[in-house]
Chain A
Amino acid sequence: MTIGISGYGVYIPKLRIKKEEYAKAWGSFSAAGVNEKSVMGFDEDVLTSAVKVSRRALESVPLTPDRISRFALASTSAPYVEKLLSGTILVSVGMSNTAFSSDHTTSTRAGTEAIIAGFEHVLANPGGKALVAAADAPKASMWDSIEHQLGAGAAAFVLSSDNLIAELEGHASYASEYFGERFKPRDDSLIHDINVKKFSEGSLITNTTRAGNALMKKLNRKPEEYQHVVIQQPDARVPATVGARMNFTDIQLAAGLVSKVLGDLGAASVPVALTAVLDAAKVGDRIMVISYGSGAGSDALSFKVVGERKAIPRFQAEADKKEYIDYVKYLKIKGAIL
């Protein structure tokens, strides 16, 4: 059975802060290649953003919410550590209460984790339809340099076996044991990080390249057979570093490099970048997607574009809609001065 993506939606909160604001406040900005980043408003969070992109993804098919038999949410910054998160979205969007839902929350790999879970449902239930929403606005202490990169955004996908715009060709994963990089102890709501770039990069490169290479081997592919490649974006330099190891070029990475203007979108990084690529892709194009989550693991997915249909609003329209804030307002919204 052929399965894939039959609709998608994206949302970028309109508030933005420029790297110059950080430079003014701290003397430097530590997110490589990021020029500005998106910020959620005071009355927004992961759940309200997930509701918004879920509706957009359904409209893009179009599909009524009662047709969804599987819902999966991905985020590393949900407002509750314990409490079903999917329920809020299920009820607000109007999906069936009998749809099976799951929350994926423990690493930035959660986005692809939820997408693969959605595909497994569709594969096991012919006629089944999965809605997967990834929304994130990760938070760290303002004293921690990892805070500089953190942005906000959301994307959702309708996965099914009909009306496809992109076919799933296959997926592969790689997981291993790493620690110290980007973690949250049970009793803390902020990200911790040992800030040893080379160590973190080692984990990221190992997991992403092994997942990616495993998939290419499985599909018997060469790097040049892909028009678009999406790689996890903690900053705007990482994709090129990983890409170089896998013989992917900057041209293949260009359409999906959203972190330049949005920052690190956590579990929504790869999903949001994938919406930008779907907007740009032509029928026949191949897309490689590789996520990464600290701890550590990566998922790789390969798609072939089979439909011209695009979602509204486009990624670019969302990225262009912005209102700049200064660093003090940013701290107030984030609740950083306690």
Chain B
Amino acid sequence: MAHVSIPMYWRTIPQRYKLVGQKCKKCGHINFPPKGVCKYCNVSSEFEEIQLSGSGKVHTFVLISAGGAPPEFADQEKAGGQYPVAIVELDEGPKVIGQMADVDPKEVKIGMPVKTELRRIYTEEDVIRYGFKFVPVTEGK
């Protein structure tokens, strides 16, 4: 991951703040995160914007422990301890990578229902980078 410039991060706000994906006009598959060319048909670059629900299920996951966190997440790991990173299969189909929050790392299971929530991801150049994390659906509503 490492350095993402502010303009580059800014361009991804619709996907990071509210999960705007794209539906391929040729093959109908949903791309998330958005691509230049559809990753399913490898042909079309004509898309329609689509609002994803943010709901899905854990496809697989890994727990990041001391020493394993990339530099931008090192403080988070030191303050809060081990944290899970999951690949989540969204209800609309795409598989998306993201951190999980509000969950005991030991409780994370493949297949568990999750939904996205806006969180602080990390801070670089004194700018807070907000984006989605996955939280268990059972936590509140």
Contacts and interface: CB of A to CB of B under 8 A. Distances in A.
Interface of A: 11, 14, 41-45, 47-48, 51-52, 56, 79, 88, 91-94, 312-313, 317-318, 321, 329, 332-333, 335
A43 B76 contact: yes
Contacts of A43: 76, 99, 101, 119-121, 133
Interface in B95-141: 99, 101-102, 117-121, 128, 130, 133, 139-141
Contact of B130 (A56, A88, A313, A321): A88
Contacts, number: 61
A42 B80 contact: yes
Given A79-B128, A321-B139, A333-B79, A91 B119 contact: no
A174 B121 CA distance: 41
A47 B140 CA distance: 19
A43 B139 CA distance: 16
Contacts of A51: 117-118
Interface of B: 13, 17-18, 51, 75-76, 78-80, 99, 101-102, 117-121, 128, 130, 133, 139-141
A48 B118 contact: yes
Contacts of A88: 17, 130
Given A92-B118, A317-B140, A321-B140, A41 B101 contact: yes
Given A41-B102, A91-B17, A312-B141, 15 more contacts: A11-B140, A43-B76, A43-B133, A45-B120, A47-B130, A51-B118, A52-B118, A79-B128, A88-B17, A88-B130, A91-B13, A91-B18, A313-B140, A321-B140, A332-B80
B102 A14 contact: yes
Scoring B17, B51, B76, B118 by chain A CB atoms within 10 A of each residue's CB, the highest score goes to B118
Contacts of A14: 102, 139
Contacts of A45: 120, 128
A318 B140 contact: yes
Q: For the complex of A and B, list the 8 residue pairs with the smallest distance between their C-beta atoms, beginning with the closest.
A: A92-B17, A332-B79, A43-B119, A43-B120, A51-B118, A42-B80, A42-B79, A48-B118
Contact of A94 (B18, B75, B140): B18
A44 B119 CA distance: 6
A29 B40 CA distance: 60
Contacts of B102: 14, 41
A325 to B, nearest CB: 10
Contacts of B140: 11, 313, 317-318, 321
A139 B99 CA distance: 26
Contacts of B139: 14, 321
Contacts of B101: 41, 43
Contacts of A56: 141
Nearest to B121: A43
Contacts of A333: 79-80
13 contacts: A42-B75, A43-B120, A44-B119, A44-B120, A47-B118, A51-B118, A52-B118, A88-B17, A88-B130, A91-B18, A92-B130, A332-B80, A333-B80
